[in-house]
Structure 1
Amino acid sequence: MDSNPANGSSIYDRFIAFYARRHDGALVHCTNQALRANWAAFPTMEENFSTTSQHKVRTVSLVSTACSGTIMREEPSASVNGILLEQEHGEDLISGIIIKPNASGSFDDLDVHLMNLILRSARAGTPMQEMTARFQTDDNLVDEIADLFNETLRNVTPGDQWAVTGREYFTQRLKHFIRHSMRLQFALPAFPCKSSNPNKVGGNLPDLGEMIALTTLHKFVMDIEHLYAPGATVLIVSDGHVFSDCIGVDDSMVDRYSKHLCEMNDALSRTFHDDGRRRVCLRSLTDMLQTQGDDIQSAASVRHLSLGPISHHIERVQINDDAELCRRLLMQGFKADAHQLQNRIQIQDPAMLRLYRGFSRFMLEDLENNIYTKHLSKTQRRKLSSKVALEMIERNQAYSNLVEVMLPNHIRLSIHAHDNAGPKFGINLMGPEVRATDSLPPNGRKQESCDLLHVPTPWHGCIVEVAGDDHLYLAKVEHVRAALREKKILAAWVVTSLGRTRAAATRCTTRHASDRSLEASSDSGMLPCAAYFSVIPTDMQYHV
């Protein structure tokens, strides 16, 4: 069978539904509204509802009206074939996935592998019993949680649609969990790695910025627990390996960043007495696609799949086998139609054109200082940034598709400035006490974004503490250096362990602490480090 699917034939494009049913066939949950409404038309022969634990792939015939929801992109006919796979889901349920056949009218080993992955992942947030009249929703509780999100975490953009459609969408997703007294589930693609641009960040490892961002998420969940006893989980699905080769970051550096971020999150969990609640969890691309871990058989079998290559536009970036395998799986299984994306740019679709131009500017800025590309001429970097921008858009869409299919019940959060109409909601990780600035000392002007693409994030800047100021600031390192050159400030790079106050931190005499020293501190058993700049404006007057 053809291992390289044609445009539009990824498993995402062929996905029909994820569902959960009882052993007698009664439907409990289904992601496809049309199929849910027409469940009675679903084939009910005994072999389709076998309770065997063997995972058998079957072909079923479906009435077209039963699967003609928005996810189906073709005109309905009298009937359509579906590829079905079911697994035991606890003692009482069976979960299943249905996709359309590939271009050959069948399926291949890659389909089966991805269907198994989706089944395992999609169970989170799936109710264990069907909806009945006795399931009631406390509308006041739903409103309180929506208000909490709106007031503490949501990012507001020009043309914001929260009040128009977003809040209603958000509350409907809350009701899905609350009706069944389930823990709320949020998914956040974020925390990839530190920028490779030395003019933006103070190092390659998590610092005070990441600590503040993680703290924001922990406190959000703790606030939910005061309102709703089952609580919530924010699942951070790190996209570091999705883009690392595109932005000139070695895969090993992404792994180091992720390792230290996990240690920081574990330390915060202890600080906030998580006690096994798992308020904030981290999952990498390799975790999502299970190419490593305890399931040795699954990890080994995926390496024998026939996968097409992917493009690497920046030469000499260090690639590791596991990350590359995951990128190939991602693009083969969940990529969007590349021709459609390019066409949207060519016809100047406003949203796509804005994203493309944003990625291009972002990459042009970073490639100027990247160790693998700084030798190129400006013309060469401009051409390269355009190629990389398109590749990043394709991968960004593929990863979004993966999250949509593998985490279908999760409420989707984003560090991009969405209009909050749903299904994605932009958030501000840094909280109200941290302000973005492009000037030191701060000039009071509000800066919306540090890099033209994102809501301000710690992996594109560093935290600056200004003496005499009640706020912390997120700035690029180049702004600190510029202020030092102009003798507007005195500055020191401060290294402190998590759990110690900033005032108790030891100020380093060097402008930057090396990543090696930060890593050694963590590996020696000390708490994770949370570094930042401490700044004193030179025009401050001190009186003894």
Structure 2
Amino acid sequence: MSNYITGPIDLTLSHHATDIATQLLQIVYRQRRLIHGNDNCLHTPCTLCLNMQTDKINAMIARGGPITFILPAFPAKSPNLSKVLGTSPDLGEKLSLRQLNDLCVKISELHPPGARIIICSDGRAFSDCVGVSDDEVSNYGREIKNLLVSLKLNNIEIFNLEDYFKQGNFDSIRQQLVEQYGRSIDALKLAIKTEEHTLNMFNGIHRFMYTDLKHRKPEYSSNKLKEEAKDVAYQVIIRSNAWSALVQEVFPEALRLSIHPQHPHSEKIGIKLMDCDDVWRTPWHGAVLDDGENYRLMARSDIEKMPVNLVYENGRPSYYVLRRYESGQAS
């Protein structure tokens, strides 16, 4: 991260630079993921949509540096094998990383210094809550870095918890994260009652945690699983928000992307990684189906109800293809 520029700026921007900032945002907003019911701003971003982000972009343009984004994402594969193919990145991660890198390339066509996306991998922050081991987080992160190299995705970087807390074991640095940047469960419960976006996030994560626990603990009753999923969802949100606060402190001038759908006038920009059957679906919570026209993310169990073949890449399962459309492996 040595090329990240920090510090105060006091430069006067030209009208041309402001126009470029708006055009850059419009490029980003073509991949925006919004909370349901905000379709008008999705198709035609309003003035408020643009004004939420232009100051940061203008500052980066004035410096003459790349447009920098941070994205907490790519934690590790879900332990729920009814959703995913395994513990390793597959075609979902590959397509999503390409999509992010392509976004940076499009920006560079308008802004020659280019753009970069810093993926702030959040798996280490809450792996113990969701049944993923630290070894699995490490292996997944290592393979993501390998994909960036092999696919020549030069506009993407990785930042994780151990890059910040350089001392202590993983349990210790998770504790430090919550102590320094987290908030209490009571504060979170109040936010769920009073903030629509927090309620939406809680409901989405609670649902995902419930389906994961149902797979991992089939002997438990539905009511018990829902209560445990609720407790896990609280912890995941607390850890995720703490991680968000940390990366915002480390990269204060970067634009904040999110894998979750956002309100159009939020400081976070919800970003679409690829088509999916659920706005909360991610490559690490799903598998890829090639239906002959498009790639989309779905739960593995739903895909396997269809007439599909499983495609392997480098000896590992990577994605499914509908038999009537099958035309070989994806590039």
TM range, smaller chain: 0.7 to 0.9
Match of 1:368 in 2: 214
| 1:496 counterpart letter in structure 2 | E
Match of 2:223 in 1: 379
Instruction: Give the alignment partner of residue 287 of structure 2, picking from 445, 459, 462.
Output: 462
Match of 2:4 in 1: 124
For residues 17 and 312 of structure 2, the distance between their equivalents in structure 1, rounded to whole angstroms, comes to 47
Match of 1:325 in 2: 172
Compute the RMSD of aligned alpha carbons: 2.5
Q: 1:374 to 1:252 in 2, by over 3 A?
A: farther
Instruction: Give the alignment partner of residue 532 of structure 1, picking from 315, 319, 327.
Output: 319
| 1:126 counterpart letter in structure 2 | T
More helix by share: 2
Match of 2:33 in 1: 155
Indicate the structure (1 or 2) with the bigger Cα radius of gyration: 1
Match of 1:508 in 2: none
1:341 and 2:188 matched: yes
Q: After superposition, what is the alpha-carbon deviation per residue over 1:106-162, rounded to whole angstroms, capped at 9, x for unaligned?
A: xxxxxxxxxxxxxxx7983325x84245877523322221221122x2224334354
Q: Which has the higher contact order (CA 8 A, sep 6+)?
A: 2
Q: 1:396 to 1:470 in 2, by over 3 A?
A: same
| 2:124 counterpart letter in structure 1 | H
Match of 2:296 in 1: 473
Match of 2:257 in 1: 413
| 2:58 counterpart letter in structure 1 | K
Match of 1:512 in 2: none
**Superposition TM-score, scaled by structure 1 size:** 0.55
**How far 1:245 moved relative to its partner?**
1.2
For residues 249 and 17 of structure 2, the distance between their equivalents in structure 1, rounded to whole angstroms, comes to 29
For residues 32 and 196 of structure 2, the distance between their equivalents in structure 1, rounded to whole angstroms, comes to 24
Q: After superposition, what is the alpha-carbon deviation per residue over 1:261-306, rounded to whole angstroms, capped at 9, x for unaligned?
A: 110111112xx6x4xxxx10111211133x2xxxxxxx3xxx4xxx
Match of 2:328 in 1: none
Residues 311, 320 of structure 2: 8 Å contact kept: yes
| 1:367 counterpart letter in structure 2 | L
1:397 and 2:241 matched: yes
Match of 2:104 in 1: 221
| 1:139 counterpart letter in structure 2 | T
For residues 329 and 365 of structure 1, the distance between their equivalents in structure 2, rounded to whole angstroms, comes to 29
Q: 1:286 to 1:375 in 2, by over 3 A?
A: farther
Instruction: Give the alignment partner of residue 309 of structure 2, picking from 492, 496, 500.
Output: 492
Unaligned runs of 5+ in 1: 1-120, 292-298, 304-321, 438-447, 484-488, 498-516, 519-529, 539-544
Residues 125, 174 of structure 2: 8 Å contact kept: yes
For residues 181 and 211 of structure 1, the distance between their equivalents in structure 2, rounded to whole angstroms, comes to 30
Q: After superposition, what is the alpha-carbon deviation per residue over 1:378-404, rounded to whole angstroms, capped at 9, x for unaligned?
A: 333222112112212221221221122
1:210 and 2:56 matched: no
Q: After superposition, what is the alpha-carbon deviation per residue over 1:449-474, rounded to whole angstroms, capped at 9, x for unaligned?
A: 2xxxx2x32111111123xx321222
Aligned residues: 320
Residues 159, 419 of structure 1: 8 Å contact kept: no
**How far 1:360 moved relative to its partner?**
2.2
Match of 1:141 in 2: 20
Q: 1:148 to 1:352 in 2, by over 3 A?
A: closer
